[in-house]
Amino acid sequence: MRHPLDGITVVALEQAVAAPFTTRQLADLGARVIKVERRGAGDFARGYDRTVHGESSYFVWLNRGKESIELDIKDPADRSLLDAILATADVFVQNLIPGAVERLGLDADSLRATRPELIHCSISGYGPEGPYRSKKAYDLLVQCETGLVMSTGTAEAPAKAGISIADIATGMYAYSGILTALYDRQCTGNGASLHVAMIDALGEWMSQPAYFARYGDEPPRRTGARHPSISPYGPYRTGDGQVFLAVQNDREWTVLCRDILRRPELVADPRFVTNPERVAHDADLASILESVFATHSAEDVAGLLDAAGIANARLRTPEELTRHPQLQARDRFRPVDTPGGPMFALLPPVEVAGQEPVMRAVPALGEHTAAIRAEFG
């Protein structure tokens, strides 16, 4: 089966999450991804945990379909081998500590001086200029710097996001940037020098609360699982649990009052007449909803909401995602080999009719070293 990136070679000098997430997307599209890892230690994400057949849950998520070679790039022989590999590469991705690739002569200017067709993508925490350019950056720290932590949690305590959201945002922008550069190279023959900073990527995602805070009368409120600027939107108690619902406009509010709450007079109540009023009186509104829902089970409330066309959801654990009935019905998992045994991995989000994504094995540290040395040595 043909895949979109068949014939594309990616060399990745990467670690942790952001860059590996970028290159895994490319591997899923058929690119050959050669992952350069430190001798004897490898990508430090290999050691984050041992939960998937003895392997790190981070590593198996981020590194399927790649070839792993162990190199000491400060060793002259290994550096010569890396140079030989790079001479055949279409894309080079790196997220070493600030300044490292310049010292190693692996920066965009150095590599593209003789190979202008190369697409060079660097990932950093804070960008190549400015007072923070040399500052180390990790996901939680960038969440702090961009205001995300202060926008998340409860009124009493801010909280981080439950996933590596800064890394994921950065990885997705690097991935889309590389795809754009590959497309442009088809037209011009020239590669590109790309740089994606974590503060820029997550800053883009934080733009709405940032604009709200700068141009509004008050900073965004921390409201736990409730939405800070839309109401009703969040969890509400029922007779045997809770259900999440979301009303997005006044038309849906009217339907909720008339068909679910059986309180049509609430539509014109001055406390609830438009969304800003509903947000201001969110506690009153929650009390009304929960007094009605208290006589119903969560399943019954969800059924009533579905029938009325009101969006809703059940609160699930991360483990329950792996058994979600909708994902199972759509056959969204595939077996993937890891060094410790097979696992089931979620398919990439974009479905292409007639194509199955490439989901090759997760490599052991240095698994492909001998083969790559023989090929390029």
Active-site residue list? 227
Peptide bond into 232 cis (omega under 30): yes
Which H/E stretch holds residue 345? strand 341-346
| CA angle centred on 200, ends 197 and 201, rounded to 5° | 85
The owner of tokens 């974009």 is 350
Cβ neighbours of 295 (radius 10 Å): 10
Token digits of residue 218: 């008050």
Q: How many helices (H) and strands (E) does the chain have?
A: 17, 11
Residues 6 or more apart whose CB falls under 8 angstroms from that of 377 comprise 81, 84
Query: What letter does residue 322 receive in the DSSP assignment?
Result: T
Token digits of residue 339: 């060094």
372: burial class by Cβ within 10 Å (0-12, 13-18, 19+)?
Answer: buried
| CA angle centred on 173, ends 169 and 12, rounded to 5° | 100
| CA angle centred on 83, ends 82 and 89, rounded to 5° | 90
Token digits of residue 155: 């009124």
Token digits of residue 357: 């994504």
| CA angle centred on 336, ends 333 and 341, rounded to 5° | 125
